[in-house]
Amino acid sequence: MAYSEALPKEQIPLGCQLCESEKKIEWKCNDCNLFMCDQCKDGVHFRIAKDHKLLNIKEIGEHEDSWNSFAFSKLNCQDHPNQPCSLYCKTCSNVICLKCIVKVHNGHDFVDEEEFCDKKEVLQEGQKKVQSNLSKLSCRKGKMMAPEEAENPKLLQIKQNIMDHKKNLCKIMEIYADNLVHDANQQFGTLKQEEGTKIDKEIQNMHAKNEALESIIKSRDFMKFLSDFDKLYVSLNENMLQDTSNISSLPNFVPAEFTVLNFGTLEGNLSHAKFKVTNQWTTELRNIHSIVRCLDSSLWIADNVNGLLQHVKLETDNVNLLSSFNSKVFGLVDISSCILLSTEETRLKKIDRGSSDIGDSVYSIAPLIARDVHVTKDEKVVITARSPGKAFSAKGRSVVLVNQPGKRFVKFDLFEYERYPKPLFTLPVRVASTSNGNICVVDTLEKDLRGRVVVIGQAGKVKGIYSGHDDVNSKDKPFKPQDILATPSDNILVTDWENHLIHILNHDGEFISYYNLKDIGIYYPHSLALSTSGHLYIGCTGSFIPFLKTFRGKLYKENNAFFVITNLIETPKQTIGICSEDPKVLGLTVQHPVSVLQEKYFQLEMVSFLQVLLLTGECNTTVGRCLIRAWCPVENGAAKAPEPPALLGSKDFTVFIKNNIQFPKFKVKRRNLPDNASDEFFQTCNYGSHSIDCPILRLETIVREAGENYSAMAKEGGVIEIQIQWNCNLDLSESDCVPKYIFRRLDSSDYKISKGYNFRYAKYYKENDVEYRTLFKAFGIKFILSVTGEAGKFNLEPFLINVGSGLAILGMATVICDIVVLYFLKARNLYKDKKYLQVVGDDAYKQLDDQNDEDKSE
C-alpha cells in the first residue's frame, strides 16, 4: 500500500509518479510533492534536484500523526489531569482547560483550537509557497549559469560588431580591440555573477524560511508556535525576488573614426535610461544654478539669484561648508591652478587654490560680456558671450574659443552669424564639449526660458539643433534647457527645468531618450556635474516666484490633527549682535535717552513675550529706538503676509483619512472606506459633490466645504475642523452605516489682532566660524479631526417596558381626573352626588337596587 493504515481499504494503491508504472513507491519528495519508486529516486530525481528533501514512505504516516496530534484536545491539563485542554492562554503562555478559565484565567486573552488550526493551515500554505519559489529560483539560476554557447544574442552581436570594426584597422589596434572584447565578457560575467549572487541569497532566505516553517510545524511547544507565528506570517507575505536580470543593459559598441586613440567604446544603452537616487543633500542655497566638481571630490555650487557661491564637501548625511563668497556667478569651471568664474563682465574672475578672495583672471573678451565658461579636453577655454545691453535686445551673440594663454593677451574665434545669413544664437547661456571636439551650446530664445541645443563641429559647422521632443514638449510645455553636460561616452545630457526632465542626445545633438525625474522624486532640475566615480550630481531650484524659491509645501502631523504651511515671511542671515529694536514693538521708543536706563527692566518685562532680547542701555537717536543684543537684523514686525501666498499650490495636496469605529453593544465595526472599494477606486476617486464616500480629500475642497476661500485663508492661516459623524440605524443593513463629513472653520477671519494661525522656526548654519540663522514665520491651516456618532437597533424587551409604562400612565389618568373634579371645580358637590351613593342600615343593597331602577326608568 502506498499510504499508511489510515487509508480506507477500498482505496486504489498509488504507483510511481515518475515512471508512471505500478512499481511500489518508497519515497516522497517534499519539494515536488511527488511519490516515486526506489529506482526513479536515484536514476531520475536525484539528477535534476539534488537539494530536494526526500522522505521514506514509512516516515510519512509518523509525520502526519505528529502534525494531527499537535492539538489542544490531545493534552490533559496540568492543574486538572482528568480534564482535556481546550484553550491556550496568551496572557499566561500556557494550555488550559475549562476549569482553569473560571478559577485562574478569567479575563485573560485566549486562543481556541479552531483559531490554532487556522494558523497551522496558514503556515502550511506558506510553506508550499516557499517551496514553489525555491523551485523557480533554481530554474532561474540554471538559466543564468548556462554555458557560453547559449549567450544572449545581443552579446554575440556586440562581439561581432567589435570584430568587424577591428578588421578595418591596422594591427596596432588588435590589442585594443581584444581588450574591449574582454571588457564586454567581463561586464556580462559581472551581470551573471550579480544575478547569481542575488538568486543564491534568495535561495538561502527561502531555505531558512522553509526550515523555520518546518521546525514550527513539527514543534509541540505551543508558546513557541504562537509567539513565532506573527513573525513567520509576515515573512510569508513578502514577495519573491523579482526576475530583474536585464541583459539589454549591456553596453552597446559605438564605432568611432579610424584613429588609434578612438577605436570605440562600450557605451551604456541610454535608449532605456534609468536613474536612481543614491543619496541626497540639502544645502543652505535656495537655488543651485551651477555645480563644478573638483579633483578632490569637493564641489563648487552657485546661486546667482541670491548672489552666493559656496565651496562644499559632501559627506554621508550632511554638507560641510568650506568657504563662501557673496557674488553672482553665471558659470564656473575648475582648471589646474584656480576656479574660473563668469560674473557677466568682460573679464573672467578667478579664485586661486586656498584663497579667500575673488580676483581678475587673464581671460578677457572685451567688448563682449561673458556668460558661461568651459574647458575642453585639449585645454581650450570656451566662453558664451553677448554684446553689452539688455539680454534679449543686444546684438552680437557668440561662443568664443580661447587658446590657453601663456600671456596676458589672448586670441579668440567667433562661432557667430558672420558665417551664416542670420544670427545663430539668441542668448547662449551654457556650453559643454565632447571628446571629438564638438561644442554643445544651450541657446535661450525667449524671456520665459524656452530654448534649444546647438551642436557645432570643429570646423564651425552646425551639426545639429535640438528643440525638444514631441512626446514631452509642446506649446503648453515648451523645452526649457538650463544646463548641459557631456558624458565620457560622448552622450549629451540636458536639463529641462520646468518639465522636470533630462534629455539624452548623442554627440551630434540627435535625440536618444529622455527621463522624467519626478519618477524618482526630483523636481526642477537645473545644473549637472559628474562625480569622480561617474555618478551624476543634479542641482535643483525652486520657482521664480519671489517668496517660493526653493521652499516646498510641508506637512506636519499632530495628534488628531495635521498642519499645512501655506505662506512664509523670511528674515535671512541673522547673527547675534547689537541692533535697533523693531519699531513695531511698543514701549521702546526713545523720547528721553536718560530715562532708558531707569526704565529698561520694566520695558523688558513688557515686550518679553514678543521677542527674546537684552537691552543694552544705549540708544539709536537717529531712528529713536533702543539698542538691543539679539539676533540681528531683527524681524520686521510690520511685515504683512505675502500675497498671493507663497505656497498656494498646497491647495492640491490630498489627505487620505482612515477612520475605524465600533459599537460594542451591537458588536458592529465599521470604517469610512466603501465596502466595494478597489485599488482602481482609490486611484481615481476624490471627495466632492459626485463622490461623498471617497476618503481622499483635496485641501481646497475641505476649505470650500467649510465656506471659506483657500487663497484668502492661505495668506494668514486658520483652523478647520473635519467632523466625521456616524449616525446608524442598525435595523437596516450594516452597509448603510456610513459616515457623514462636516467641515467648519473654528477661528474667525474677522479678528482684529492675532488673526489666523502661524508659528516661527529657524535654520541655523555657520559661515567662516560665525553662526547665522534664517528665521521663518510660517502661516498655515491646521485641520482638526473629530469623530462622533450613535447607533440604534430594535429590541423587544425595552419595547414591552415602554408599552407597559404607557398603559400604567393611562390608568393614572382617571385618578388624576377624579381629584381635579371632586376637589377643585366649583360644581364638585354635584359630581360627588353623582359619583357616591349614601346608604344607611342593613338593607343597603336593596336601596342600591332601587336607585338603579330609578335611573333606568328615567
pLDDT in tens, 536-570: 888 887 543 333 333 434 444 445 788 899 999 98
Which residue segment(s) compose the domain that 300 sits in? 280-551
C-alpha distances (whole Å) from 282 to each of 433, 727, 761, 767 are 29, 48, 17, 16
Provide the pLDDT for residue 607: 29
**370 assigned to some structural domain:** yes
The Cα–Cα gap between 304 and 306 comes to 6
User: Is the same domain home to 590 and 646?
Assistant: yes
Provide the pLDDT for residue 59: 63
User: Is the same domain home to 737 and 778?
Assistant: yes
Dihedral sign computed on CA atoms, order 670, 676, 679, 681: negative
Domain count, the chain: 3
The backbone torsions φ and ψ at residue 140, rounded to the nearest 5 degrees and listed phi first, read: -65, -40
pLDDT in tens, 696-745: 999 999 999 999 999 999 999 999 999 999 999 988 888 889 999 999 99
User: Is the same domain home to 774 and 817?
Assistant: no
**506 assigned to some structural domain:** yes
User: Is the same domain home to 626 and 735?
Assistant: yes
Is the separation of the CB atoms in 529 and 292 below 8 Å?
yes
User: Is the same domain home to 749 and 681?
Assistant: yes
Q: Kindly state the cell numbers that stand for 521.
A: 522624486
**703 assigned to some structural domain:** yes
User: Is the same domain home to 498 and 544?
Assistant: yes
Q: Kindly state the cell numbers that stand for 529.
A: 556635474
User: Is the same domain home to 537 and 398?
Assistant: yes
What are residue 669's DSSP bridge partners? Answer: 662
Provide the pLDDT for residue 743: 94
Provide the pLDDT for residue 391: 65
Q: Kindly give the parts of the chain with pLDDT less than 50.
A: 1-11, 62, 64-66, 148-150, 257-262, 394, 404-420, 543-558, 586-615
User: Is the same domain home to 652 and 530?
Assistant: no
Q: Mapping DSSP to helix (H, G, I), strand (E, B) and coil, where does residue 605 land?
A: helix
The region, left, alpha or beta by phi > 0 then psi within -120 to 50, assigned to residue 696 is beta
**342 assigned to some structural domain:** yes
**419 assigned to some structural domain:** yes
Provide the pLDDT for residue 590: 39
Provide the pLDDT for residue 604: 29
Domain boundary among 794, 826, 850: 794
Provide the pLDDT for residue 2: 36
Q: Mapping DSSP to helix (H, G, I), strand (E, B) and coil, where does residue 641 land?
A: coil
User: Is the same domain home to 613 and 508?
Assistant: no
**199 assigned to some structural domain:** no
User: Is the same domain home to 712 and 650?
Assistant: yes
C-alpha closest to that of 430 among 457, 451, 410:
451
Provide the pLDDT for residue 837: 67
Provide the pLDDT for residue 431: 92
Domain boundary among 520, 551, 582: 551
Neighbour-count burial for 598-621, b at 16+ CB within 10 Å, e otherwise: eebeebbeebeeeeebebeeebee
Is the separation of the CB atoms in 222 and 88 below 8 Å?
yes
**175 assigned to some structural domain:** no
User: Is the same domain home to 633 and 532?
Assistant: no
Q: At 766, which CATH number?
A: 2.60.490.10
Angle in degrees, CA 27, 29, 35, rounded to 5: 50
User: Which residues, in sequence order, are CB contacts of 449 under 8 Å at separation 6+?
Assistant: 480, 482, 497, 498
CA atoms within 13 A on the CB side of 822: 11
DSSP label at residue 522: -
C-alpha distances (whole Å) from 28 to each of 43, 123, 210 are 15, 20, 17
**102 assigned to some structural domain:** no
Is the separation of the CB atoms in 481 and 462 below 8 Å?
no
User: Is the same domain home to 683 and 820?
Assistant: no
The backbone torsions φ and ψ at residue 631, rounded to the nearest 5 degrees and listed phi first, read: -75, 115
